Amino acid sequence: MSESVSTAEAPLRGLPPGDAEPGIWQRYGVVAVFLGPALLLLGVWVVYPTIRTIIRSFFDRSGDEFVGLDNYQTLFSDDTLLTAIKNNVLWLLIVPALVTAIGLVFAVLLERVRFSVAFKVAVFMPMAISLFAAGVIWRLMYEKDPDQGTVNAAVAVVKDAVTPSGVLSAAQPSTDALQGGPKGGLVLERPLEKGAVAQLGLTGIRSSDVPADAEQAVVPEALAGGITGVVWRDFKPGGGIAGEVEAEELGLPGVTVELRDENGRSVLETQTEADGTFAFEEVEAGSYRAAIGPDTFSEPYAGISWLGASLITPAIMLSYIWVWAGFAMVVIAAGLAAIPRDLLEAARTDGATELQVFRRVTIPLLAPVLTVVFITMLIYVLKVFDIVISVAPGSVQDDANVIALAMWRTSFGGVNDFGLGSAIAVFLFLLVIPILAINVRRFRREV
């Protein structure tokens, strides 16, 4: 019997036995089908515009003449554009750090309150609207008039609680018998002694400014051991005699009246009644002068000019932080929920205080999450645009200017200098690249 020997070819490396080598379609066709549309869109909407913008930045306003680096030179020499760069630096230094810090504080504190869900919804709610709409909201809240602007209305409540405004702010003496002004008060020139009656007439008071509880003014009776008087609105419809209390003339309640000695020092103080009368009882012998105190004329709170040139940038930053604090809180809270609780309990068992646990355990474990929030905010802050243009009035947009807004105003805001606008866009692109590189490097390290 003859011995038969059978041989078999070794399978191709990397393929199961019996499989043929894949063709070009199997290797590249599926990849092309899935990535092709995305690459096409990236090329049309990202790559080509980027290259075209870079090329356009070396030409003049019309795009006909090559100007080299002139546009970039203008970028760093024009005062308006330098203000935009300076403001962006302030945004980078302040906003990402504050957003991350506020989000961290909210996330940690909300673990200890019962209404955490409701608070998270309230803080995260601004993320549901656009930055432009948020800017419109804060534009209205920043109105200077306390009757219209919410922020100034809140400040007015605190201010009136500490230093209330006077009953009258624009009143003037009706006769030459009263001398002085709002800062030092109005002083009756005629000296007063025991038993005297002082008549302090005021004019220049609108009907709407007269206190609601004002009654018909009357001249009080003299006190044997004291000094009395009246403060009234010396104005009678149809005409009257200045310096005399007449029918249809109202007393001014709530007015501060001082009794001053010969040296001008206030020795007694009181307030007028509804009919404008006042009385100083038990007055020592001597010569006095009656005066309407300066606090009577203190003007009501007029509001802070949040939309003015000096405060517009901090005001916009505050509104931006209001929008993004919810985002930071939710992301950090998710990272906080992933921290092993036994580590925190072990630190407390070892005697660490809550502040030490927060500083030495919680924050180090949350470092990757905090980095994500911080870097994300750096990128968004560099691109901030819509909230600036919606909050800042046109008169102060130069003071609130940022790079993205400067690019839009230069290219499409009436200047129509597309060469300089392209240079600004390229500069902004170069600023974003290092932050993106750091982010990509962090992603690779985590993987």
Q: What digits encode the pLDDT tens for the residues 351-388?
A: 888 889 888 898 999 998 999 999 999 999 999 999 99
**The token pair that represents 29 in the structure block:** 């066709």
Q: 199 in a domain, yes or no?
A: yes
Say whether pLDDT at 296 is over 90.
no
User: DSSP strand E in 266-369: where?
Assistant: 266-271, 277-280, 289-292
* Pair 399, 345 in one domain: yes
The residue from 240, 262, 297 where one domain ends is 297
Say whether pLDDT at 1 is over 50.
no
Closest CA to 423 of 85, 42, 47: 85
Say whether pLDDT at 135 is over 90.
yes
Q: 8 in a domain, yes or no?
A: no
Domain tally, the chain: 2
* Pair 315, 291 in one domain: no
Model confidence band, residue 21 (pLDDT cutoffs 50, 70, 90): low
In this prediction, residue 443 carries a pLDDT of 76
In this prediction, residue 27 carries a pLDDT of 74
Per the CB < 8 A criterion, the answer to whether 424 and 407 are in contact is yes
**The token pair that represents 254 in the structure block:** 């709530």
In this prediction, residue 22 carries a pLDDT of 64
Mean pLDDT of the chain: 88
- Residues 39-84 have pLDDT tens digits of 999 999 999 999 999 999 999 998 899 999 999 999 999 999 999 9
The residue from 297, 325, 352 where one domain ends is 297
Closest CA to 230 of 240, 241, 219: 219
The residue from 253, 269, 297 where one domain ends is 297
* Pair 104, 220 in one domain: no
* Pair 372, 415 in one domain: yes
User: DSSP strand E in 75-222: where?
Assistant: 172-173, 178-181, 185-188, 197-203
